[in-house]
Structure 1
């Protein structure tokens, strides 16, 4: 049947292929006709896709059409030559050809002769000339056999080989290789396929939930489905899922799930090829919004964008493929188990060749809590390496059978709470339960965020995957190695009286995302309802609910406010109220940050959160007094610093002379080691300025830059321009002035590329660069760098707000991140005649939230005219206009 007979009348290919003349070759005019026909074909198929035709039908149609085209060109170039044949391989061999897929070909010859070689060259050149992307190999039987023995992928490609044209007898060469018992026997083939799968998945962090997933090679991708069919054919002689149903290896619902998921992946891949215009297999941010529109997904509200719904549909399909793929592969592997290797473990479970099985096949139906118990047994018995395939099937069937009843079953909830009370060791069990869909069945709200991505650069994983990683971080804190890597978290988690409460808070902290309201508030309601059903005591339920409601409080306070200000710490402590909440909140905060993206965690954030914890812990002491007056705290800091510096042999009079230039804020806002180091650096210069001191690793967990110099307009801009050019990220800046007009500027830095403190070499280079800039009359200009590929797809208009802060003005800037942002804003401050006194810099993925305390040149708060001027200057520097 021709392509025109299969396509709707409105989009049929307008021209048919002319009849070829054997061995005449393809002349220029004929090549142009073939090229035109190919273009008509692709346009017709694209139109059919837009009108709703299934991708599975279209890839089969394109494959059949290309068969006709290749047959035409083959006859024109080689005629009915004996001893040579053309085979389709790869996806094309399986009869599936996507819009931008390569046309993979194998030309099999009995021997090579000069005339035939020229004809084959003409054949392949014609295909390239008319616009096909060809992947080709020319081999004889011996070469085919040798490569098939050595290379799993070559052998597998022969399994897909399908003759298109040429000598039909050459097919026996392929068949002889595939049926040779010594070439990739079943057990060796299965082991190699499983090793290839593991290596492939390792490239994708062993998770389906990448925010830019590879829908062909990633976990749960189309390659998983291909591999299942290859293994079925090699081990059982069945080429499709239907045959596996007939033999009892799949039940009809499992087959339907695989085919429906495959159809979803095909549809997405077809649209991706059309959108990208090239053989792209990654669902990059570049294409996700356009694909969502092309496939009909629409924004519901700001927390449920069409692009997020689209990606959720992908993740749901990929997860189903991955789950059933593991299950079916285990069934294949069980073919080689020793049937006599059996051990009874409990009254309900036994081990067969290391795989956990049921004594009573109806156990999960009779006692639904056994669905949890089996995962606990899996964790408890070291000789158990996994679940038997039939056990996996029984779990899925029982979950479907019980349905919503699992969420309200007292026995199931009691079993879950018993598991959670084991503390961190329960996390691996929860992770396995989640992979089987059991956790979402027991906690339906968790199912609503299954596969839900957040379309930004801050959240690296889907919500459900992030939740599992937060739980794993909690478990990680209890490990011995955490005593060094996370000393405070290790200390706190090991002394929790009820670790199940922290695990519950981790499970529920993001459970309400995507519903259109404040997920913390909605999640608190879900958490309270679960605690009620599970029978938790009122005070335990209150703690879990409070943690869910305020799980962002600690990170927001630490990163967006000045935690050296006692009033900030006091407000935080007032909200927390007691030590128990503080301990749990610290653990949840650290686990949450690392679980969002490992790149977000660094030594500065570690120190920042520990400092806030320590300060709040002090305030929450039962015998704590009111915060001392500022003058008392300044005097105390001076006395401690003087004692330390004197103990080092420094002259008290010289120290006191230096401190005449230190405003009170230096002693209020800086830690004791910083005050001492700044004093040493100034004394080492014997009163000369400028002083530039760089401490690669400071007490704040980052690199400290201290600049002591004659103040001048644009000093902040000059320093930030150097930091930008030297690729340092500014975390915090404190700009102070002495009574006689000297600047005491402190910057907390991390290396922009590594997000680690500077090396000694980098610190020395930075010091020299800053000194050079301070001796130049004009400010250096920020470096000009382009947005990264990711950044340019997440740009939003900047938002700027002014607020009064006594004699100063606070400018709050929320905008999309970009290279050189802080340096550009500093240039705007200089242009508007504004002085900077303090800066808090926070970056969350693609979003920046910066706060600056500023004044006019008269050191007073900004008037309305200056605010307007500064607003225009900042927007202009960011490439925006009001």
Structure 2
């Protein structure tokens, strides 16, 4: 372009930017005064249309070219901060001069303040791209001419439509949806969902529109109702849920000033206020908003399933005749179908039978649209009279006892409102959020995730994941009882009071109504009562103490209960969040399980901890590594039984191999290695005991950004500290193997310098903690034996927390023996075993507690 044209274009761009800003401000004012999604979405599209057309002509683009809106913009809908997707359509490949013009055009669009996504193609190039990419096909379905050569655009449209294979397109969109669902764990019930991309979001509705356009089935929900693909009421429901999701997305864009589609904690309370949602006596406004969102997403998924199946019956009309299953059901196109419209009215038991048939017949891929619709309409028939009938109770227990499809059946029963009517307490937890900072699902979805984890233990194809769990559950008679315990373990969440105690009553009522034997009922009720016990003992108590194991064994009472509790605990912890479970927690639970099992089988408390076996296993490992018999005694003579009880055979062997020839080393020995499951780093520190050593170590690890998962502090008989740590990098900034050498070198240097402890940076408070703060709690109590004191604290996790606690203890001359670090998402529940003269004075204990609280709150 010449200079005069460039100067002219600059003036146009400045004016266009001003017009767009003023126009958007007017749209926002009008929307906030009278919220109407159509006015906002179509209004912004029209506003952008006008400026693009003006610019096209101002740039004197060729008369035989065209500019085309595609994607959502082509549909005539633009959210406040959405990208503007354009296709510049050319009759032939651009020469150098035209390429310069096109470059200036696109640059001008960006300068106007528009986020542009563009492609420059000929018709042939469009058709080739569409053949290779389902995304291009989808965007061309909604293409809309803005300005330019209309005949060129119509030719593209005609050739594209002629070449579109509807069946291939339909299958590709189904696969695309499955892949998208998999990215979001197939659930809309995450605590911070994406209102566009998550299951049940706007993308599900848009996909229905794309397939309808591709098949010429209609361009609106009303069109689909006219073709009897959905009912009139379903068309109204689709419009309502679409409006709600559109309002949410519009508000998010206006609130954040950017293309933000995630309902983050940062935005939920503000959105609720903007939408006029008020808090209740027991729930925040944000919780009311999110429960409404989950109900909407659930409805979207239901209608999405119905419409996709009806599309399939139109697109694939030749899939064979119906096959009769029984007087109530038949199979149509690999889907379970009701034989008569009033089946559920005449025979209510069919409301459960349909789920049982899906489990029993492996060829079935789901239910037909009319079956799902009838199921939803008749869900209220599951009432007190329905629940009281013995044949219905027998059907429900059969569903729990099938060899396949249990989790899928319960997900379906939850989605279609059957589960919340059959198990009445379930109603309160549907869509109920959990703000404890380590659960990432609503209560009902967490329970279904625990059921899924428990179920996977029984499946051969998943035996490689947790082989011990598989072995235990296969040998567990009537293991389906564990599924009932899973269903009820958190069912009383959010009612106030102890949810374990309240859940016991619900579980007992269910078992009694279903006439389970007394032994089975007591097992289920006991599991609900104690579902948190094993995790608490493993993560918070000193499991190297025989008395701790004895108390836990007394609580369990028998090996069958121990096995059941171990399986439930494992499934429960893994079902909270992918971030909460790690190999270290698995090892803590496993060690507690085996120690308790030995005790229940008749071993003494000392033998239950396997000390003799551990020493024998350690010697075997040392021989395997080439060490001569007896060389270990040089080090072991300095170690007391407590050390051997707190460390595994593999850990003792590792320490011994590193220290047997330098048990009096004048220089610190620091060694690190990647954990067996490669999910952290183990560090051993051996040095002459010194003041503030633990404080200095925690400060060093904190400055490196590590979380300390476990710490074992031991002082040898000859005055050396032998401390062990399990570390994890929450951000996984580098390979653990790359970090090992750095830790060994840097920490050894710091220990030799013997400088004052250096406090790590505090770091930023996480979003979760900011919006759902945790009030720290600290208590110091003498243990039952009276030999030690136990410090327990609960607080929001942050860098430097352990350093602050250790500093206070060091200031009062208190010696720390063991630290049990339980990090649950953003929450820590830590337990420390202490000794020291100050702990014998109540006034000083109170002072120490207050000092730690002050550190945690600053």
Output the TM-score relative to the length of structure 1. 0.84
CA distance in 2 between partners of 1:823 and 1:393 (Å): 59
In structure 2, the partner of 1:718 is 696
Residue of structure 1 equivalent to 2:498 = 518
- In structure 1, which of residues 760, 772, 776 is the aligned counterpart of residue 753 of structure 2? 776
Match of 2:140 in 1: 158
Q: Which residue, out of 481, 502, 518, partners 1:501?
A: 481
> What is the match of residue 399 of structure 1?
379
Question: 3-state SS of the aligned residue for 2:574?
Answer: helix
Please say if residues 31 and 40 of structure 2, whose CA atoms lie closer than 8 Å, have aligned partners that are also in contact. yes
Which sections of structure 2, spanning at least 5 residues, go unmatched?
Answer: none
Cα displacement string for residues 37-59 of structure 1 (whole angstroms, at most 9, x for unaligned residues): 43333333334444451334422
Whether the 8 Å CA contact 1:301–1:516 is kept in 2: the answer is no
Which region of structure 1 is more displaced relative to structure 2, 205-214 or 700-709?
Answer: 700-709
SS in 1 for 2:446: helix
Q: What are the equivalent positions in structure 2 for 1:566-581 lying under 5 Å apart?
A: 566-581=546-561
Shift of 1:118: 8.0
Farther-moved stretch of structure 1 (791-800 vs 842-851) = 791-800
Deviation per CA, 1:114-167, whole angstroms, max 9, x where unpaired? 998888777655544443333344555454444444443333323322334456
Tell me the matched-pair count. 844
* Residue-by-residue CA offset, 1:72-118 (whole Å, 9 max, x unaligned): 55566659x85455443322222222111123334445577999888
Matched, 1:609 2:586: no
Q: Which moved more, 1:198-207 or 1:718-727?
A: 718-727
Give the Cα–Cα distance (whole angstroms) in 2 for the partners of residues 644 and 566 of structure 1.
Answer: 20
2:521 aligns to what?
541
The DSSP-based 3-state class of the residue aligned with 1:207 is coil
Of the three residues 298, 301, 309, the one matched with 1:322 is 301
CA separation of 1:257 and 1:449: change in aligned 2, threshold 3 A: farther
Contact 1:26 1:126 in 2 (8 A): no
Asked whether the equivalents of residues 399 and 406 of structure 2 are also in contact (C-alpha less than 8 Å), the reply is yes
Quote the residue 2:289 is aligned against.
Answer: 310
Aligned equivalents of 2:446 and 2:250: distance in 1? 29
Work out whether 1:688 is the aligned partner of 2:665. yes
Q: 2:24 aligns with which of 39, 42, 57?
A: 42
Question: Residue 216 of structure 1 aligns to a residue in which SS?
Answer: coil
**Partner in structure 2 of residue 355 of structure 1:** 335
Q: Deviations over 1:748-774 (max 9, x none)?
A: 455656799976x86566445444333
- Residue of structure 2 aligned with 1:374, choices 354, 357, 363: 354
Displacement of 1:186:
1.9
Q: 1:341 to 1:375 in 2, by over 3 A?
A: same
1:99 corresponds to which of 80, 89, 92: 80
Task: Note if contact 1:637-1:672 (Cα within 8 Å) is conserved in structure 2.
Answer: no
The range that moved more, 764-773 or 749-758, is 749-758
Shift of 1:275: 1.9
SS in structure 2 opposite 1:600?
Answer: coil
2:827 paired residue number: 847
Indicate the residue corresponding to 2:187 in structure 1: 207
Distance in 1 between residues matched to 2:110 and 2:566, nearest whole Å: 62
- Aligned-pair distance for 1:677? 5.9
Cα separation, partners in 2 of 1:96 and 1:750, compared to 1, 3 Å:
closer
Residue 241 of structure 1 corresponds to: 221
Query: Which 10-residue stretch deviates more, 446-455 or 318-327?
Result: 446-455
Match of 1:12 in 2: none
Query: Compared with structure 1, are the counterparts of its residues 643 and 171 closer, same or farther at alpha carbon in structure 2 (3 Å cutoff)?
Result: closer
CA shift digits 1:794-835 (9 cap, x unpaired): 654544333345465543332221234334543554456543
For 1:113 and 1:701, locate their aligned partners in 2 and report how far apart those are by CA, in whole Å.
Answer: 55
1:740, CA displacement in angstroms?
Answer: 4.9
Structure 1 unaligned regions, length at least 5: 1-22
Aligned-partner Cα distance in 1 for 2:309–2:21 = 45
Q: CA deviation at 1:466?
A: 1.9
Q: 1:747 to 1:113 in 2, by over 3 A?
A: closer
> How far does residue 558 in structure 1 lie from its aligned partner after superposition?
1.1
In the alignment, does 2:252 pair up with 1:275?
Answer: no
Contact persistence 1:63–1:92 (CA under 8 A): yes
Q: 1:305 to 1:538 in 2, by over 3 A?
A: farther
Corresponding residue number in structure 1 for 2:571: 591
How much has 1:453 moved relative to structure 2? 3.1
Displacement after TM superposition at 1:448 (Å): 3.1
Given that 1:272 and 1:291 are in contact with CA atoms closer than 8 Å, whether structure 2 keeps it comes out as yes
Residue 60 in 1 paired to residue 60 in 2?
Answer: no
Q: Secondary structure at the match of 1:850?
A: strand
> CA-to-partner distance for each residue in 1:459-480, whole Å, 9 max, x for gaps?
1223222222211211211123
Query: Does 1:264 find its partner at 2:227?
Result: no
Pairs within 5 Å for 1:575-724: 575-620=555-600, 637=611, 641=615, 661-663=638-640, 665-666=642-643, 669-670=646-647, 682-685=659-662, 687-689=664-666, 690=668, 692=670, 705-724=683-702
CA contact (8 A) 2:707 2:799 kept: no
Match of 1:800 in 2: 778
Query: Is 2:665–2:687's contact at 8 Å kept on the other side of the alignment?
Result: no
Q: CA deviation at 1:592?
A: 0.7
Task: Give 1:382 deviation, angstroms.
Answer: 3.2
Q: Which residue of 702, 718, 723 maps to 1:745?
A: 723
Q: Under a length normalisation based on structure 2, what TM-score does the superposition of the two structures give? A: 0.86
Could you give the per-residue CA deviations for residues 410-434 of structure 1, whole angstroms, max 9, x where no partner exists?
A: 4333211122133676334333433
